[in-house]
Amino acid sequence: MVRDLFLEIGVEELPASYVPPAVEDLRAALERQLGEARLSFDVGTVRTYATPRRIAIFCSGVAESQETRVRAVKGPPAKVAFGEDGSPTRAAIGFAKSQGVAVEALEVKDDYVRVEVTDEGRPAVEVLADCLGAAVAAITFPKTMRWGGEARFGRPIRWIVALFGEDVLDFEYAGVSAGRETRGLRFWSSGPHAIACPDDYLRVLEDAYVVADVAARRRAIEEGIDREAVGCGGTVIPDEGLLDEVTFLVEFPTVFTGRFDERFIALPKDVVVAAMRGHQRYFAVETDGHGLLPFFLCVMNGPQDFVDAVRRGNERVLESRLADAEFYWKEDTKSPFESKVEALRNVVWLEGLGSLYEKTERLERLARIVGEQLGSDETATAERAARLAKADLVTEMVRDGKEFTELQGIMGREYATVSGEPEGVATAIYEHYLPRFAGDDLPESAAGIILSMVDRIDSIVGCFSAGLVPTGSQDPYALRRQAIGLVRTIDEKGLPVSIGDLAREAARGFSEGDAPSSEIVSDVLGFVRQRARNFYIDAGYSYDLVDAVLEASFDNLVGVRPRIEALTHFRASEDFAGLVIGARRVMNILKGQGDPAHDGGALVEPSSKALDAASVEAERLVEEAIAAGDFDRAVRELLNLRKPIDTFFDDVMVMVDDESLKQSRLGLLAKVKALFLRIADFSTVVLEGEETEDA
């Protein structure tokens, strides 16, 4: 026999961001607990429900009793468990007693005492309380509250519903005993409302003005805002993040339209949208031509009874925020955007690292150097954008932690445009903050790409020079995100940029003389390399191939991805495995040998000359393939070295007493090693069947 299992944890309002992870934690933990408790259930039927005031889970087909289990238990060694005459010792007697069996049930197998123990299944009602308690305890939150003792949760727990079929489970958590009564929408139908069985849950809550099904609630909001937007003569400006957030802010969504004064349409669109979204969580409406309309869409938590009063209140609040934005905009545009740059002298960038004005000067210099290295036609644009990139941080709109602070870069673009700066400069000012997070857009303009790179490397090098290095999970200056953004930009845009040169040039801006600190540069390169490693592994590549290629090609990230893909194509071939083994022999012999020079004329053995000739031909063909961007062909040419390498090691003793002969052979191997490293350090590749250790 089976029954449905249902659990609801009722709480004070949880922050919207807390709810989705908590739901997934509960699902995973309960499924795990039921499995460990030997209670079968219909895995595909587990459903979760959530609002700001509840986290619930429904599981059908839960067995009414545990499965009986027969398990083999290993005891003490046989020579310890039995005397020479075969009689059981105290060790055997104690082991048998601990397993609840007679001594006669013990068996000896492989020199140890063993016994089969049968665990009879207990009724589910006797074990479910422990399962539920462990599942709830497994829910994690960014921050927890403690109340009435030692209980901790995202917010105080106010009620619990725990049903097994029609029966209430004997379950308690955080001092709250389970029952069958839930709560409805606060102030409208709070309850309590009795739930006869798990199947009644959604119906009971719907009658109490709660839409517990997350997908249904989100769909209702989407349909509501689309309907209201059409009524305004426009469409909703898409905002998936806001839609997700609002879904977990309300229990019974009602969408209505509000208006604001049309004069605010003259403000930059992003300012108006930010004023709506920031604290009020409104959706903006635009025309088909993407012009803003003087309406906002609000999601109210409750039925429509008092919607007019709620609308008036929201309109007053938005009017006030837009009036503030209008004042900031007018003040900021009274003078040219260029005039704001001087004020950066009075703004500390980071403690011990000077002002934002000094950072601006470094960005101008770096933008010019990198632009010239890339041969970009937009070098001057990038340099001018660097001059203005941080100027919006001292404007009325952005500074002092106002609600529009998040518009840094966006406002820089707007102010630059109003001041008559070229479109390319304005665009680069905005784009230099991209990407802002994982999956965000990359800069598109050449000037924006240059400025994005130099801003990131300047921040990373600056923090390292001041000892502000990320440790463990602590990264207050988001240097990991900065480094990944740098790696991603170079990789996806195919930029022939030397990471080493970039770091060294950035380090000059923090050194007293012309020579940057080699230690800081080395630390920065190691940090960026680790982020590059994570980036490519996250992209789905094997960690050992990533390591092999980065060992050889980290400085020029453009070639990393195609090299990894080429190795991936060939790694299953027999010749590839042989080449890896040969590369290991080459690398091992060269350890501690310095940098021996190659002298083909000093080679005497046929196998040495054959390997030398093969490497010369392979080098020519590999270089041609690399120049053509055909890394599959380059690896294929290296595979042709497998037999000459094997023959060389079969015929030749490298480490001989004759120093001249030894050096000539080491020089040949050094040449082969250098050829390998044009693609990867093959010696680090893990072959099938070998022990692996993925970081």
Gap between the Cα atoms of 153 and 135, Å rounded:
13
Gap between the Cα atoms of 251 and 206, Å rounded:
10
Rounded to the nearest angstrom, the gap between the alpha carbon of residue 177 and the centroid of all alpha carbons in its chain is 39
Structure tokens at 480: 């990991």
Segment 377-430, tens digit of pLDDT: 999 999 999 999 999 999 999 987 777 888 999 999 999 999 999 999 999 999
Distances (CA, A) of 667 to 329, 602, 611: 69, 10, 12
**Are residues 367 and 411 in contact, defined by beta-carbon separation less than 8 angstroms?**
no
Residue (of 581, 23, 517, 409) closest to 248 by Cα position: 23
Structure tokens at 315: 């309109």
3-state secondary structure of 51: strand
Any idea where the domains of the chain sit in the sequence? 2-66+123-207, 70-119, 216-332, 349-399+408-539, 557-684
Segment 74-117, tens digit of pLDDT: 888 888 788 877 788 888 888 888 888 888 788 888 888 888 77
**Are residues 198 and 224 in contact, defined by beta-carbon separation less than 8 angstroms?**
no
Q: Residue 224: in which H helix or E strand, if any?
A: helix 214-231
**For the chain, how long is the longest CA-to-CA vector?**
105
Q: What letter would DSSP give residue 123?
A: B
For residue 659, the tally of other CB atoms under 10 A from its CB is: 8
3-state secondary structure of 155: coil
Confidence at residue 514, expressed as pLDDT on a 0 to 100 scale: 60
Quick one: three-class SS letters along 429-480? HHHCCCCCCCCCCCCCCHHHHHHHHHHHHHHHHHHHHCCCCCECCECCCCHH
Q: Does domain 557-684 correspond to CATH entry 2.60.98? A: no
Rounded to the nearest angstrom, the gap between the alpha carbon of residue 306 and the centroid of all alpha carbons in its chain is 43
3-state secondary structure of 103: helix
Tell me: pLDDT of 692 over 60: no
Region for residue 420 given its phi and psi (left: phi exceeds 0; alpha: psi -120 to 50; beta: otherwise): left
Tell me: pLDDT of 695 over 50: no
Segment 114-153, tens digit of pLDDT: 887 777 778 888 889 999 999 999 999 999 998 877 788 9
Instruction: Give residue 670's identity as a one-letter amino acid code.
Output: A
Tell me: pLDDT of 485 over 90: yes
Gap between the Cα atoms of 310 and 322, Å rounded:
18
Per the listing, tokens 């392979």 go with 618
Q: How much of the chain, in percent, has pLDDT values that exceed 70?
A: 98
Query: Which ranges in 539-605 belong to alpha helices (H)?
Result: 543-553, 560-570, 574-590
Where is average pLDDT lowest: 42-56, 139-153, 331-345, 506-520? Answer: 506-520
Segment 567-605, tens digit of pLDDT: 999 988 888 888 889 888 888 888 887 778 888 788 888
Structure tokens at 322: 């837009």
Residue (of 526, 521, 515, 514) closest to 465 by Cα position: 521
Instruction: Give residue 434's identity as a one-letter amino acid code.
Output: L
Structure tokens at 351: 């403690």
Gap between the Cα atoms of 479 and 459, Å rounded:
8
The mean per-residue pLDDT over the stretch 448-474 comes to: 93
Confidence at residue 511, expressed as pLDDT on a 0 to 100 scale: 80
At what angle are helices 543-553 and 518-538 packed, to 10 degrees? 150
3-state secondary structure of 233: coil
Gap between the Cα atoms of 680 and 674, Å rounded:
10
Instruction: Give residue 687's identity as a one-letter amino acid code.
Output: L
**113, β-bridge pairs:** 108
User: What values do phi and psi take at 173, rounded to 5?
Assistant: -150, 135
What's the chain's average pLDDT? 91
Residue (of 581, 595, 597, 598) closest to 650 by Cα position: 581
User: What values do phi and psi take at 515, rounded to 5?
Assistant: -90, 120
Label residue 97 exposed, middle or buried (CB < 10 Å: 0-12, 13-18, 19+).
Answer: exposed
Structure tokens at 355: 């002002």
pLDDT band at 536; cut points 50, 70, 90: very high
Q: Residue 82: in which H helix or E strand, if any?
A: none
pLDDT band at 69; cut points 50, 70, 90: confident
Per the listing, tokens 């798990």 go with 198
Structure tokens at 284: 């903006």
pLDDT band at 316; cut points 50, 70, 90: very high
User: What values do phi and psi take at 662, rounded to 5?
Assistant: -60, -45
The mean per-residue pLDDT over the stretch 479-492 comes to: 95
Could you give the angle at the alpha carbon of 296 between the alpha carbons of 295 and 298, nearest 5°? 150
Where is average pLDDT lowest: 113-117, 138-142, 259-263, 333-337? Answer: 113-117
pLDDT band at 610; cut points 50, 70, 90: very high
Could you give the angle at the alpha carbon of 225 between the alpha carbons of 220 and 230, nearest 5°? 130
110 vs 50, residue with greater confidence: 50
Tell me: pLDDT of 625 over 80: yes
Is the sign of the CA dihedral 395, 397, 401, 405 positive or negative? Answer: negative
For residue 553, the tally of other CB atoms under 10 A from its CB is: 20
Distances (CA, A) of 401 to 318, 394, 398, 407: 19, 11, 7, 11
The mean per-residue pLDDT over the stretch 224-242 comes to: 95
Confidence at residue 694, expressed as pLDDT on a 0 to 100 scale: 54
Distance in angstroms between the alpha carbons of the first and the last residue of the chain: 47
Q: How much of the chain, in percent, has pLDDT values that exceed 90?
A: 66
Gap between the Cα atoms of 530 and 477, Å rounded:
17
Residue (of 199, 195, 192) closest to 168 by Cα position: 195
